[in-house]
Amino acid sequence: MLSRRLGGALFAATIALAGPLAAVGPAQAENPITIGFGMALTGGLAPNGKAALLAMQIWEEEINAKGGLLGRPVKLVYYDDQSNPATVPGIYTKLLDVDKVDLVVSGYATNMVAPAMPVVMSHNRTFLSLLALAANTEFNYPKYFSITPTGGPEPKQSFAKGFFATAMAQNPKPQTIALVGADAEFPRNALDGARQLVKENGLRVVYDKSYPPTTSDYTPIVRAIQATNPDLVLVCSYPPDTVGMIRAASEVGLKAKLFGGGMVGLQSTAIKVQLGPLLNGIVDYDFWLPWSGLASDEAREFLKKYQARAGSAGVDALGYYLPPFGYAYMQVLQQAVEGAKGLDQDKLADYLRSHTFKTAVGDIKFGPTGEWAEARVMEVQFQNVKSNDLEQFKDSKTEVILWPPELKTGDVIYPYTDAKK
């Protein structure tokens, strides 16, 4: 799968090159530093991908206004990966062999990062990835560095750790669990971690199946899960199937003590507004919220800039999820280039390995596999969602932080069937 290449005609027909270089300030060198990547600008991952791109463009404008990087302007060179892993190898081959970009970074999401890895590795490039879960596990590439709050010594387990911690703190403790996710890179990694946590917590698995990423009707899946009568239902899904699973759970009347855990998409404002009260009771992960202790003044200032442009850019109106990390992503790259005093790939990797980076989402230090040295994943529960109005999602009472204890803003409503009322 990872070695597939786009045909030339398909590539030309479906990939659109980024717009012109943003206006620059004092840095007027004719030879810009180019940063190449694919990004989900259409397809199921586009709501998050487009928001990440705006964050990166804000950084680009700011750095150019300050004189650029190493005295040269910066130019983002990007292509739409269409939320399709099959497009990714061709994009990175073009970026490196045709565009000859100075630096490459990933697009958004595990499913898009994994197929880029062989191309990047074959070119011996340092590679920063954006919100990819344990994408380097099989590659063990020493020049890979991940910008995502999962991490620590067990990055796969860190993603769902808060879900299990919340569940096992209840009395009586849950006994059984259903595991379900798409047959794709991210859900497989997330479910691998979840199965280890199942063992550690002495739970009994009553359902453990995957579904094709192209699935459109999730009702039979939820009915099959309901037939096993699980205490916990852990779903690892991307936005389209997240919405499908939640609507199916509502239709079927899913009965579980906790439901959620690994649902990508519930961090997106548009999906929150779309689902409205159907969100109530769902326990899921999140990475950053303005009412958490992780929110810095720098991040809030960035969000003001982002939100002022979100409407005209047609991206996530609030920008709580991916934009702070898209911005921090570029901050880390900037600091590495400045610290290494150039674009030498070995020196960049050495600097990334050995330094702590100050960013809008806090200090970032990388561990031996390129993951964050310490995980910073939150577990939240949707409560008190009354309608499909956007404004309510600015209120901390609609997304209560349950875990970790030092960031907690409220208590879980348990079981899920009670929280839905």
pLDDT bin (cut points 50, 70, 90) of residue 3 is very low
Q: Are strands 378-382 and 399-403 parallel, antiparallel or unpaired?
A: antiparallel
**C-alpha distances out from residue 142 to 53, 320, 337, 353, Å:** 26, 31, 17, 9
160 and 142 inside one domain: no
227 and 306 inside one domain: no
**Averaged pLDDT, 398-409:** 97
For the stretch 188-242, pLDDT in tens is 999 999 999 999 999 999 999 999 999 999 999 999 999 999 999 999 999 999 9
Percentage, residues of the chain above pLDDT 70: 93
CB atoms within 10 A of CB 193: 22
For the stretch 277-317, pLDDT in tens is 999 999 999 999 999 998 999 999 999 999 999 999 999 99
CB atoms within 10 A of CB 36: 23
Largest CA distance in the chain: 67
Does 6 have pLDDT greater than 60? no
Which pair of tokens denotes residue 8? 């030339």
**C-alpha distances out from residue 128 to 173, 205, 371, Å:** 40, 36, 10
For 307-346, b/e burial (b = at least 16 CB within 10 A) is eeebeeeebbbbbbbbbbbbbbbbbbbbbbbebbeeeebe
267 and 306 inside one domain: no
pLDDT of 418 reads: 84
106 and 198 inside one domain: no
Is 374 a domain residue? Answer: no
pLDDT of 417 reads: 84
Q: For residue 259, which phi and psi values (nearest 5 degrees)?
A: -140, 130
Element (H, E) at 231: none
Is 1 a domain residue? Answer: no
pLDDT bin (cut points 50, 70, 90) of residue 407 is very high
Is 400 a domain residue? Answer: yes
The number of distinct structural domains making up the chain is: 2
pLDDT of 16 reads: 40
**CA 180 – CA 219 distance, rounded (Å):** 13
Q: What is the mean pLDDT of the chain?
A: 92
Q: For residue 274, which phi and psi values (nearest 5 degrees)?
A: -65, -45
Residues 6+ apart with CB under 8 A from 7: none
Is 241 a domain residue? Answer: yes
For the stretch 236-252, pLDDT in tens is 999 999 999 999 999 99
Percentage, residues of the chain above pLDDT 90: 91
For the stretch 366-390, pLDDT in tens is 999 999 999 999 999 999 999 999 9
For the stretch 80-128, pLDDT in tens is 999 999 999 999 999 999 999 999 999 999 999 999 999 999 999 999 9
Residue 62, SS3 per DSSP: helix
112 and 161 inside one domain: no
Assign residue 45 the CATH number of its domain. Answer: 3.40.50.2300
pLDDT bin (cut points 50, 70, 90) of residue 419 is confident
234 and 127 inside one domain: no
262 and 239 inside one domain: yes
Is 139 a domain residue? Answer: yes
pLDDT bin (cut points 50, 70, 90) of residue 163 is very high
Structural contact between residues 102 and 159, judged by C-beta atoms closer than 8 angstroms: no
Element (H, E) at 338: helix 323-340
93-97-99-104 Cα dihedral, nearest 10 degrees = 60
**CA 225 – CA 209 distance, rounded (Å):** 10
Residue 71, SS3 per DSSP: coil
Q: How far apart are the first and last CA of the chain?
A: 44
Residue 69, SS3 per DSSP: strand
Which pair of tokens denotes residue 39? 């990004």
237 and 303 inside one domain: no
346 and 406 inside one domain: no
347 and 399 inside one domain: no
Is 378 a domain residue? Answer: no
233 and 351 inside one domain: no
178 and 225 inside one domain: yes
Does 1 have pLDDT greater than 80? no
Is 3 a domain residue? Answer: no
Is 375 a domain residue? Answer: no
Q: Show the domain range for 89.
A: 8-149+295-365
